[in-house]
Amino acid sequence: MFQQIWWLDPELTYGNAKPFVFTQGHSVCNRSFFPCFDTPAVKCTYSATVKAPAGIQVLMSATQSTYLEEEGVYQFYMEYPVPAYLVALVAGDLIHADIGPRSRVWAEPCLLPTAISKLSGIVERWLTAAESLYGPYIWGRYDIVFLPPSFPIVAMENPCLTFIISSILESDEFLIIDVIHEVAHSWFGNAVTNATWEEMWLSEGLATYAQRRITTETYGAAFTCLETAFRLDALHRQMKLLGEDNPVSKLQVKLEPGVNPSNLMNLFTYEKGYCFVYYLSQLCGDPRHFDSFLRAYIEKYKFTSVVAQDLLDSFLNFFPELKEQCVESKAGLEFERWLNATGPPLAEPDLSQGSSLTRPVETLFKLWTTEPLDSVAAASSADLTKWRTFQTVLFLDRLLDGSPLPHEVIKKLSECYSSQLDSMNAEIRIRWLQIVVRNDYYPDLYKVRRFLENQMSRMYTIPLYEDLCTGTLKSFALEIFYQTQNQLHPNLRKTIQQILSQGLNPLPAIDTTAVTTDTPAMVLEDKVSEATNGAISLRDVNVSA
């Protein structure tokens, strides 16, 4: 059974004041929430009536809502047809603040000031940029609700009400990308939806392309290229681990009966899909021409579900000169091959416009990994405190890929950077701590303990537990887990227990009454549920839904 409704005791919230509940419908979990045709091919409007205790705020992914205070009853209505997985509900100790003419943030009271400071004014900027590219925003409001760290993914594009994990608030650049990705889904995924789970790239690949067009318009090409380089690095890492002939690397993946479609979510869905969309845009010669096509595509298919052939036929009809050139059959780059060949993308974007940001990363990495090590030159070549987050995580990811490193290298790295990284955001700190673990660098292990003692999110706990249990530090991991397990959601406790149990006698039972756990083929940080595979860490797919 797929778990859809997550009930949290007050202790699992930030404020520790009131219980909390949320739903997560993607991809086929809403069948346990309400009777429905749980397929993206079917769309409908919906209405809902929810009764809640006084002091509990209820929100849904709906265009209209009313509250009858004397009865404690909320009524919701979604006036546009949506697939079942986009029906969402959240209830808890939530308050709001307006951050734009059509946007507000909802969060627990202790988090609201931070949410306001991070997003006030800029969400409207992103929406306006998206509208200039792809046409009017059709959903009315664009509100955001920040959920407790038990939220199992990073973000979810529920129409009118994006769900985002609160843990990401401290990582500004990741927050920017996550929200803009969800904004892009308002057009690609929500308005026009993939008709089958076997073609999720139609939502994720197009949304990723649109996200990067929006960031280029608002933050410049260099930033977009840096973020893309970071993601493509992760794609190639995943491909190396899975193998180039793995069928899940296809854009049109075969979904076997009885398999949870979320198990097929991986970086190929996002980044290989993005590369195909980018390739189509390059065939037009000017991305603005492709923007015009996408506006027409949205207008033609909004509120419906499509298959890949719908997109590609529309593309060729919109650009008859390309159809005359038979671009769909260009040797080595055939559309059919893009969709059904395993392995890496057939072509990748030119990221040279980001060289001012990526070149320093490449230079520093080379200095630290070239023998003999000149630690003085390496240490003086860059000031990480002045780098963008995506530069630092790209550098650390490459060090992590090269681990274990020579002892002299990890010792000098710690001397140069460990104290600096302590004050940086969690996306940076977790990568450094994974380097510490994979290199068995005992002087910094206390920082691993301190980090895990203060984290309740799966995206910041699972990767470290995986690495601790892969190496020689499983007893250290067990000790931390038994000290911190009560602050973790039962599902996360069970997942970590499964990791810790690998190769050991069964651990003492943990009370996980009524908790069910799906075991995906790969554990991804986005839209994937409950268990893990040591080969692929959550860090490899830090993307939004």
Catalytic annotation, pick one of 182, 271, 466, 525: 182
End-to-end CA distance of the chain: 22
Whether 270 is catalytic is yes
Identify the burial level of 21 via C-beta atoms within 10 angstroms of its C-beta, where 0-12 means exposed, 13-18 middle and 19 or more buried.
middle
Q: Are 279 and 346 in contact (CB under 8 A)?
A: yes
> For residue 383, how many other CB atoms are within 10 A of its CB?
10
Q: Are 210 and 184 in contact (CB under 8 A)?
A: yes
Q: How is residue 363 written in tokens?
A: 């230079």
Binding site, annotated residues: 181, 185, 204
- Taking CA atoms, 259 is separated from 197, 275, 524, 529, in Å, by 11, 27, 16, 13
Q: How is residue 218 written in tokens?
A: 């608002």
Q: Cα 196 from chain centroid? A: 21
Catalytic annotation, pick one of 270, 279, 417, 441: 270
**Strand ranges (DSSP E) for 137-198?**
143-147, 155-156, 161-165, 192-194
According to DSSP, the residues that pair with 96 across neighbouring strands are 106
Please give the Cα distance from 238 to 208 (Å, whole number): 18
List alpha helices for 244-388, DSSP H: 267, 273-283, 287-301, 308-318, 320-324, 335-340, 355-369, 375-380
Q: Of the candidates 247, 245, 262, which has an alpha carbon nearest to the alpha carbon of residue 200?
A: 262
Q: Are 32 and 476 in contact (CB under 8 A)?
A: no
> For residue 55, how many other CB atoms are within 10 A of its CB?
10
Binding site, annotated residues for Zn(2+): 181, 185, 204
Sheet with strand 95-100: strands edge to edge = 95-100, 103-107, 143-147, 161-165, 155-156
- Taking CA atoms, 79 is separated from 31, 103, 191, 371, 490, in Å, by 21, 19, 13, 64, 36
Whether 466 is catalytic is no
Q: Cα 319 from chain centroid? A: 33
Please give the Cα distance from 448 to 338 (Å, whole number): 42
Please give the Cα distance from 257 to 89 (Å, whole number): 28
List alpha helices for 458-516, DSSP H: 458-470, 474-484, 490-501
Active site amino acids: 182, 270
